[in-house]
């Protein structure tokens, strides 16, 4: 009985890991990779995706509605920062970055306006789509935005199972932008609400006659 209990516990643990996918939990800023969850909000759903399009969990993942004990890192406008996951992304789909200006990056709940900073879609060649499935993704903090606290969010949308609900792998970093300008970038969106169930990039069948793709969400905001 004891052996059975131990092995079923092991099974549960393995099942959680296998079902766990990947999660962004490191931030590199100022050319230094932080420790796990240093300047990145901790989530409470292992590494499961968020799948409800109307859920506030889409902002900074389950458990990430405030920063708790998460620290905030100072980064210069115009500099590069990188999110790194525990294991490389392995579900096909787009990667996007969003930012939201907030009063205080620790207490911000992400209900403020967000603008898209960068998007990474597939490339098409010889009738084949190629997705950037990596362990790290980098983004440049726009040089023109006002100094101050921001939430910086990464979103990887798994659309690998056409017909099933797509999966959002999201995380938020807490940054204090220094330098910069005075621009409030647009267009802005609320999250949730930035992706609609009818968006072609959400409903796409990547295995059938797939030769173009529109990344969900607003246009990338530029300086």
Ligand X SMILES: *[C@@H]1O[C@H](CO)[C@@H](O)[C@H](O)[C@H]1NC(C)=O
Exposure string (b/e) for 31-44, b if CB count within 10 Å is 16 or more? eeebeebbbbbbbe
Among 20, 28, 38, 42, binds ligand X (CB under 6 A): 42
Among 15, 68, 107, 222, binds ligand X (CB under 6 A): 68
Q: How far apart are CA 89 and CA 147, in angstroms?
A: 32
Of 20, 22, 24, residue with least CA distance to 137: 24
Residue 200, binding choice from ligand X, Cu ion, none, Cβ under 5 to 8 Å by partner class = none
Site for ligand X contains 190 (CB under 6 A): no
Residue nearest to Cu ion (CB): 21
Site for ligand X contains 69 (CB under 6 A): yes
Residue 178, both tokens: 């220094």
Region 166-195 residues binding Cu ion, contact defined as CB under 5 A: none
Query: Judged by CB, which is closer to ligand X: 68, or 200?
Result: 68
Q: How far is the CB of 148 from ligand X (least distance, A)?
A: 24
Residue 66, both tokens: 């405030």
Q: How far apart are CA 145 and CA 141, in angstroms?
A: 8
Query: Judged by CB, which is closer to ligand X: 23, or 141?
Result: 23
Pair 101, 150: CB distance under 8 Å = yes
Pair 105, 72: CB distance under 8 Å = yes
Site for ligand X contains 66 (CB under 6 A): no
Residue nearest to ligand X (CB): 69
Q: Which residues bind ligand X (CB under 6 A)?
A: 42, 68-69
Q: Which residues contact Cu ion (rule: CB under 5 A)?
A: 21
């Amino acid at each position: 009985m004891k052996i059975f209990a131990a092995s079923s516990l092991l099974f549960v643990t393995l099942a959680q890991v296998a079902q766990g996918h990947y999660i962004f939990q490191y931030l590199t800023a100022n050319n230094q990779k932080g420790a796990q969850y240093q300047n990145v909000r901790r989530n409470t759903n292992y590494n499961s995706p968020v799948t409800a399009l109307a859920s506030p969990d889409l902002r900074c993942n389950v458990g990430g509605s405030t920063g708790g004990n998460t620290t905030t890192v100072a980064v210069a406008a115009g500099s590069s920062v990188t999110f790194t996951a525990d294991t490389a992304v392995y579900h096909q789909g787009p990667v996007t970055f969003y930012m939201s200006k907030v009063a205080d990056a620790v207490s911000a709940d992400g209900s403020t306006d967000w603008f898209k900073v960068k998007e990474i879609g597939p490339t098409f060649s010889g009738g084949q789509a190629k997705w950037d499935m990596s362990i790290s993704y980098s983004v440049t903090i726009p040089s023109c935005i006002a100094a101050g606290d921001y939430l910086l969010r990464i979103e990887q949308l798994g659309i690998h199972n056409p017909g099933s609900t797509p999966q959002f792998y999201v995380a938020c970093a807490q940054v204090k932008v220094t330098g910069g300008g005075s621009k409030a970038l647009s267009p802005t969106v609320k999250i949730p609400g930035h992706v609609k169930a009818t968006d072609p990039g959400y409903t796409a069948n990547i295995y059938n006659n797939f030769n173009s793709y529109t990344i969900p969400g607003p246009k990338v905001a530029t300086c």
